[in-house]
Amino acid sequence: MTGPTSTIAPALRERLDRSKNAAGALTKASSSVRDDGLAAIQESLRSHVSQIVEANALDLERGAAEGMESSLQDRLRLTPERVQGLVDAVGVVRSLPDPVGDVIRGMTLPNGLQVSQVRVPFGVVGAIYEARPNVTVDIAALALKSGNAVVLRGGSAALESNKLLVTLMRDALASVGLPADSIATVDDFGREGAEAMMKGRGYIDVLIPRGSAALIETVVTESTVPVIETGSGIVHIFVDASASGGDAPDIIHNAKVQRPSVCNSVETVLVHRDALGLVPAIAERLLASGVTLHADETIRAIVPDALSATEQDWATEYLSLDLSLKTVDSLDEALDHIRRYSTHHTESILTADMANAERFLNEVDSAAVIVNASTRFTDGGEFGFGAEVGISTQKLHARGPMGLPELTSTKWIIRGQGQIRD
């Protein structure tokens, strides 16, 4: 093979080739056999909880010694409860309908040809991510259910966690007769492994990055493999003039505090000038939970404990217990601010004015737009997908939380009886 893949080291090329062969075997495997593989993964994770937590503790210890940010440490951490959450997520994925073979549309042409468009696996899905061992299991489960092999680059921060998780899952697949190479990692090759994935056109069919804005930008700009771009989350909540004083503090608190290190946590709250009376209650809840507020001067006059917000605050994905607050004079001004600073992930409006709610839903150009609820609901698990590959902020093929259908492509099947074209 010539082109970019010719620069890949032989050992890496061999590993990618094994993944490609495994993808071919999965195409022949029935849905029930793939479900058996998922059940075996569940059982293996369930019976190795203590070993998984111990391996993760080594990663956490190394991360702390290297000065890892607290938000990344939270994403990296696996507790017994979080491991059980992974077991449960694999179970949900297993219970979902298999998308492979679904007929999207069909027709009979005037000449008698029977034409149908059906879902098929991509083949080999690559994922490059950092400090998120849960992604190792989530993507592997979704890939297997949708008939894909997967190649993982989980980064050095979660090296021990991912090494064990991949080993457990590969052994589980082998135990039911599926190729262990359906799940592969290139972590042992370091950065060279990531570069091979980005240049592995012909081996990897689609590449999905998850992580920092810098990581995603690197993959998008350097990859010769098609990329489904997930995005960082500069997420907004707009408190409209008619917002409920009873609901707004609870919703905003949940959106920021429930898990601040994830991409669907709120980073900026826009407050209509006529709703400034809600600010004391909102600020009190947030400050009591240790949130640092960055506010414009109008809101600082109400909340003296807030820091002065700068232009950079509006463009920052904190991923921490920090939140910026800005006063706006109208829905139009809120929409303008969101258009300027949003990363097109998730935005929410708190309002009792349904006309404003509909305008917000129609005019905000983000993957998820919410009325009167926390932004934390933009999540594959919450949507019933069991897990998610990521949250796509692009507009081609997939947008928003990506589950099983988003890991498939389509092909056209034409059945004839000797027709020829005039």
Average pLDDT, integer, range 297-302:
97
Helical pair 31-47 and 159-175, crossing angle rounded to 10 deg: 130
What CA–CA distance (Å, rounded) separates 393 from 386?
A: 20
More confident residue, 348 or 395: 348
Query: Are the C-beta atoms of 182 and 173 separated by less than 8 Å?
Result: yes
69-83, 141-155, 171-185, 321-335: which range is least confident on average? Answer: 69-83
Range in 205-219, 249-263, 311-325 with the lowest mean pLDDT: 205-219
Q: Which of 298, 285, 193, 189 minimizes the C-alpha distance to 245?
A: 285
- pLDDT bin (cut points 50, 70, 90) of residue 2 is very low
Q: Greater confidence, 399 or 172?
A: 172
Helix (H) or strand (E) holding 86: helix 80-95
What pLDDT digit, counting tens, does each position of 94-104 carry?
999 999 999 99
241-286 residue pLDDT tens = 999 999 999 999 999 999 998 899 999 999 999 999 999 999 999 9
Question: Taking 90 as the threshold, does the pLDDT of residue 188 lie above it?
Answer: yes
pLDDT of residue 5 exceeding 70, the answer is no
Per-residue pLDDT, averaged over 132-144, amounts to 95
Give the pLDDT of residue 71: 76
Domains and CATH numbers, the chain: 4-230+390-415 (3.40.605.10), 235-377 (3.40.309.10)
Q: Are 236 and 269 in contact (CB under 8 A)?
A: yes
Query: In 3D, which of 266, 262, 261 has the Cα closest to residue 282?
Result: 266
Burial class, 172, CB count within 10 angstroms (exposed 0-12 / middle 13-18 / buried 19+): buried
Residue 136 vs residue 1, higher pLDDT: 136
CA–CA separation, 218 and 4 (whole Å) = 17
| Whole-Å CA distances, 50 to 54, 82, 372 | 6, 12, 40
- Predicted local confidence at residue 6, as pLDDT: 63
- pLDDT tier at 4, thresholds 50, 70, 90: low
In the Cβ-directed half-sphere of 150, how many Cα atoms lie within 13 Å? Answer: 27
371 touches 348 (CB < 8 A): yes
Mean model confidence pLDDT for the chain: 94
8-state DSSP, 149: E
HSE toward the beta carbon, residue 116, CA cutoff 13 A: 10
pTM of the model: 0.86
Structure tokens at 317: 């994905």
176, 38 Cβ separation under 8 angstroms: no
Percent of the chain predicted with pLDDT > 90: 85
Mean pLDDT of 176-183: 98
Biggest CA–CA distance in the chain, Å, is 81
Tens-digit pLDDT profile for residues 325-382: 999 999 999 999 999 999 999 999 999 999 999 999 999 999 999 999 999 999 988 9
